[in-house]
Structure 1
C-alpha cells in the first residue's frame, strides 16, 4: 500500500459517472468548509434519468464540475489530484470508465484514494454468489492502494467486508440529499389527506426490483381508510394497474406518473408513510427525501438506507420479500394513526441531525482525516454513537 501519512488536505476530487443530485449536495457542503473541491464526470445526467424527473444540481459556481474532460484537461487534473495533499473519491469499483481511468493514473501517486460504493445485490442466490466472487477478485486490484472505502449502509459494510479490504478501512456511509425546502401546500392528484384517510406513498421507478406487487399484496390485507399514491413510471405500469384492479384496490390506489421534484416534496409533506419495498436498492435516496419532509417510512431490509431507521417514530424495516412482515408493518403504522405536527417535527429533526448534507460533510471529513492515520472507529451520524 502506498504511504499517505499527511493529514493536511487542500484539494478533494470526486470522480463520478454523472453529477448526481444524490451526491452533489454533499459535495457542495464539503466545498463550503473551505476545501478546493472539483467534480469530474464522464457525462451529464443521462436522458433516462432526466425522463424520471432528475435535473442538474445548481452548484452556483462554488464547485467546478468538469464534464467529459479532454485528454489535456484530464492530465492537468491528474497532476493536481495526485499530490500528497489531495484526496480522490472514485465512485464505483470497475463499473464506470472514468473512475477506472483515474485509478490507473493515481494509484502510484502519494494522494489519498477512497472508493464510494453501494452494496452489490445479494438476493439472487447463484447470481449473488457469482457477484461476491467477482468483487472479491476486483478487490485484489484495489486493496493495497485504496486508503478507505465509503460503503452505503450496513449492507455495504457487510458486502465489502467479504473482500480483501481490511475492515478497518471500511466506513459506513450513505447519500446525503438536499432536504425538503419550504414548498407551498397544494394538491397532488386526488385529494386523500383527509381527517380520516391514512395516506401511503411510493416514489420511484415501476420495475421489477422495486417490488411494488408485494406492497399491493400487503395493502390488500389492510382494513381501514387509506390511500396509496404511486409517483413514478416504468415498464411495469400497465401490469401494476391491472394488479391493483385484481386486488380490488382501484378506489384506494392512484398512479400519478412522473412529476417534478417539487411536487414530490409536496406529496411527501402530505403523506403519513412512504413505502420502499425494493427487493434490492443500493441506498434508496427517497428515504432521505421522505424523512426531510417529516414523513414516516417503511423500507425493505435489502435497501442500504434501512440502516438509518433506528426507532419506530421514524418508521419500520421489514425483511425483504416477506409479505407477512410488510403487512404487519403497514398495519402497525396505521394503528399509530396519522402523523401529528409533533411527529413530523421529530422526523425532520432526525434528518437534520443525521442525514443532512452538512452532517454528511462533517462525517466525510472525519473519515478522510483519520483514515490511515489512526485506528479510531468512526460511526455514521445515524448510529447514535460518537
Structure 2
C-alpha cells in the first residue's frame, strides 16, 4: 500500500508507527513536512526522530505536492487542516484524485470560553471538508470531553471517527528498583496555567503522607507563582523545581519516580503519559487529557475529574494505599501496547475498517406501494 503523511514537522510522537509502516513489506511511505524540527523543540532537548525507510520530503515544492497528493489508490493522511499550511495545501491538491483521504487530529474539546468559537470554526471546516474524507483518526477520542464527541458535534459522521494515539520510541533506562525511602511524585511539562500544576500542589498539600516528595520538572511563566503557592501551603521543603532536561534524562527521572501526575485542564494528548508507562511508572491524569484513553484505573494508574483538587488527592491516596504493581512487568506490557509496531498494527486495522464498504441500511417500504416479487 502507498501512504503519504502530511505534517508541519517530523513529529517525534508519530515517527515510531510511520517508520514501522515503512518496514512492512509491500508498503511505500512518504512523509512530507514543512521543516524537519522546529527550533523550540530542539532547544527543549528533543532529537530529530529516526525515520528509517520512510521517504522524507522537507518543504516540498508545489509540483511535488501535486504529484504526491494525487497518486492513484494512495492513502493520504493530513495531520490537521486548520492552521497547518502544508497539510491543507496537499488536501486541496488531492481533491478530485482517486485517493483515500483521512484527517488525523488531536482532540479539540476544551471546555470554557474557547469552546464555542472553536466549535464554530471546526464546524465550518467540517462543512467544507467532510465529503472529501474517508474518516478521522482522533487522538484523544473517548469520554465526556473526548474528540469523538467534539468532532461529531462539528458534523463529522460519528461512525467515521476512530480512536488513535500518539506514540513514542522506548528510551533505554536501567531496570533498577526505585528505593529512595519516600514516595516521589513527579510532574513533567511546561509551567503554564493550562497544565494546572497549582491543582497538584493543593492536592499534594492535603495528602496525609508527610514523607512524600513532589518534583516539578519543567519551566515556564508560572514558576514564580507556583513557588509562592508551595510556600503558602507549607510544603516548600517537600517540593523541588528542576528546569527542563534532555529527553533521555527526563525519561530517566520518570523511571526513578513512584508515580507521574498530569493534572491539565486540557491536553490534546500528553505524551509524558506514554513515556512514563513505558518505563513502568504508573500515571494519574485528568479526564481532560487525551492520554487518559490509555489509563485503566487500578492497573496502570488512575484518571480523576479535571479541576478538582479533592478528586486528585483521592487518587493520590488510592495510589498510596491500594495500588500494587511490578515495575518491570508494567514497562513490558505498556511498551508492547504503545510502541511503534503495536500502533502501526492498530492504524492498519482502523484503516481497513474505514475503507471497508459501508452497509446501506434497508429502506422502509413506502405505504401504498407494492413489494417486488422475488422469483425463485
Q: If the length of structure 2 is used for normalisation, what is the TM-score?
A: 0.89
2:84 to 88, 96, 99: 96
Question: What is the aligned residue count?
Answer: 353
1:116 aligned residue: 104
1:17 aligned residue: 8
1:368 maps to 2:351: yes
1:231-262: CA deviation from partner (whole Å, max 9, x where unpaired): 11111122212222222222211111111111
1:131 aligned residue: 118
1:307 to 287, 293, 313: 293
Within 2, Cα distance between the matches of 1:375 and 1:291?
Answer: 37
1:190 aligned residue: none
Within 1, Cα distance between the matches of 2:72 and 2:317?
Answer: 55
Within 1, Cα distance between the matches of 2:194 and 2:95?
Answer: 35
1:263 maps to 2:254: no
1:200 maps to 2:192: no
1:332 to 301, 318, 324: 318
Within 2, Cα distance between the matches of 1:132 and 1:289?
Answer: 31
Within 1, Cα distance between the matches of 2:68 and 2:51?
Answer: 21
Q: Helix, strand or coil for the counterpart of 2:315?
A: helix
1:196-237: CA deviation from partner (whole Å, max 9, x where unpaired): 301111111111111100000000101221111111111112
Within 1, Cα distance between the matches of 2:317 and 2:353?
Answer: 44
1:151 maps to 2:103: no
1:296 maps to 2:282: yes
Contact 2:74 2:100 in 1 (8 A): yes
Moved more, 283-292 or 176-185: 176-185
Contact 2:65 2:93 in 1 (8 A): no
- TM-superposed CA distance for 1:185, in Å, is 6.4
Point out where structure 2 has 5 or more consecutive residues left out of the alignment: 360-376
Within 2, Cα distance between the matches of 1:241 and 1:29?
Answer: 43
1:53 maps to 2:36: no
Within 2, Cα distance between the matches of 1:231 and 1:352?
Answer: 23
Map residues 63-78 of structure 1 onto 2, 5 A cutoff. Answer: 63-71=54-62, 75-78=63-66
2:206 aligned residue: 221
Contact 1:183 1:265 in 2 (8 A): no
1:237-292: CA deviation from partner (whole Å, max 9, x where unpaired): 22212222222222211111111111112111111100000000001111000100
- TM-superposed CA distance for 1:306, in Å, is 0.5
Point out where structure 1 has 5 or more consecutive residues left out of the alignment: 1-8, 187-192, 377-386
The 1:95/1:336 distance shift into structure 2, 3 A limit, reads same
Within 2, Cα distance between the matches of 1:52 and 1:80?
Answer: 32
2:19 aligned residue: 28
Contact 2:136 2:161 in 1 (8 A): yes
Within 1, Cα distance between the matches of 2:321 and 2:66?
Answer: 57
Within 2, Cα distance between the matches of 1:148 and 1:227?
Answer: 45
1:136-184: CA deviation from partner (whole Å, max 9, x where unpaired): 1110111100011100121111211112211121101111211232448
The 1:28/1:183 distance shift into structure 2, 3 A limit, reads farther
Contact 1:52 1:233 in 2 (8 A): no
1:294-331: CA deviation from partner (whole Å, max 9, x where unpaired): 00100010011111112312111001101110110111
Within 1, Cα distance between the matches of 2:234 and 2:74?
Answer: 58
Within 2, Cα distance between the matches of 1:81 and 1:369?
Answer: 20
Larger Rg, first or second structure (1 or 2):
2
Contact 2:106 2:139 in 1 (8 A): yes
Q: If the length of structure 1 is used for normalisation, what is the TM-score?
A: 0.87
Contact 2:65 2:90 in 1 (8 A): no
1:352 aligned residue: 335
